[in-house]
Every structure is written in structure tokens, then in C-alpha cells.
Amino acid sequence: MERIIRLFWGDEVPVTARNAVQGLVVSLRRSLHVLPDVRLVTRGPGYLLQVDPDQVDVFRFRREVERARTLPDPEAADVLRGALALWRGAPLADIPYESVRLRVGGVLEQELLAAQEMRAEIELRLGKHRDLVPVLARLADEHPVRESLHGLLMLAHYRSGHTADALETFRQLNRRLVTEYGITTGPAMRELHETMLRS
């Protein structure tokens, strides 16, 4: 119960928090009644949702990402493609509680982004540079200061024969980091940039 309360209200817990959670649990139980394989049970001072992990997209996604780590690149790329296809929009987008969306959804978004980067790394090794440029450019626009993502975009540009675009990607990222945060790119990005300048 306390974890649920903290998830919904953080440090500003209203006096009515317990009653509100209990009301939500009653509503949830009513909604779950039509699903025979899903149960919400009281466990100690809290609640436990009993469900087959294969019925929960995020569990299937995590399992497939882990499986991809053990496979050769071509098979891993296919498995990751399937895992990423499980995502339909922003995590928890239909949850009306912003605090839940931010806390839980943020973690899920980071897992999604890590899997997208993993797939891009594999596909770069498989020589799919040109195909990756638009995908990585879109992701870089959505995550304008994520260095690892910009590094992958630089590599995709560079290996596609577009060194100027790769260098421009670095320049824009570095400028954004300096302007917004007062820092420069990390050593790995600077080394990648220097390598491209020397080529």
C-alpha cells in the first residue's frame, strides 16, 4: 500500500490517500472480473496482481531483449524487431495519473530506448547504415542530448558516405550541450569525432 501511495503522490500524500487507493482497487477488481486469468489479491498490507507474464507486453519485451543478447547478430536483429513491435505509443499513455506516467513510464521509455540503440548497433554491424539514418535521426530529434544515440547516428551517416552529416550531428550535439548544460560531449564522442576528422 505504501509503495502505491508513494507512486501516486510522492512526498505530498493527502490524508485521503489510503481511501483513494482502496477505491481504485475496488474499481480495478471490477474491471478485471471479466478476465479469468488475471486476479488482484490482497497480500499483507498491499496488493498483488497475478497474471501470466506472457499476457503482459512489458514482460514479453524484456524477455525478448534478453534473448536477443544471446543470439548472433542477424537473429538478434529479428528478435529485437519483434520486441520493439510490442510497443504502441508512449508507455502508460492512457493512465490518467501523471505521477505514475512519469515514474513508471520514464523507466519503461529508457528500456525502450536502450533496446532501440541495441538494435541499431547490431544493424550497423550488419551493414544497414543507410536504412538506419532516418530511424536514428528521428530518435535523435526526440532525445536531443543522448550522446550514445547521436554517436550511432554519426556512424550511420559516416558509413553511408556522408561524413559532413556525421560531423554536423556532432557539432549540433556539442553546441546543445554547451548552451543548455554548460558541458561538452564525453570522451567517446570526441574520439569518434576526431577519428572522422582524420579520415
Q: What is the pLDDT of residues 21-77, one digit of tens each?
A: 888 888 888 888 788 788 888 888 778 888 888 888 999 999 999 999 999 999 999
Alpha-carbon span 29 to 18, nearest angstrom: 16
Q: What is the pLDDT of residue 2?
A: 82
Residues contacting 185, CB < 8 A, separation 6+: 147, 170, 173, 174, 177, 193
**Please, what is the average pLDDT of the chain?**
92
Check: CB of residue 20 under 8 Å from CB of residue 113.
Answer: no
Would you state the pLDDT for residue 103?
A: 80
Query: Which is higher by pLDDT, 175 or 105?
Result: 175
The reported pTM is 0.83
Please identify, in words, the CATH class of the domain defined by 127-199.
mainly alpha
Rounded to 5°, angle at Cα 149 from 144 and 152:
135
What are the φ and ψ backbone dihedral angles of 14, each rounded to 5 degrees?
-75, 160
Stretch among 41-50, 137-146, 183-192 having the lowest mean pLDDT = 41-50
Q: Largest Cα–Cα distance in the chain?
A: 65
Please give the pLDDT value at position 100. 76
Domain coordinates in residue numbering, the chain: 2-51, 53-126, 127-199
- Condensed to tens digits (0 to 9), the pLDDT of residues 108-123 reads 999 999 999 999 999 9
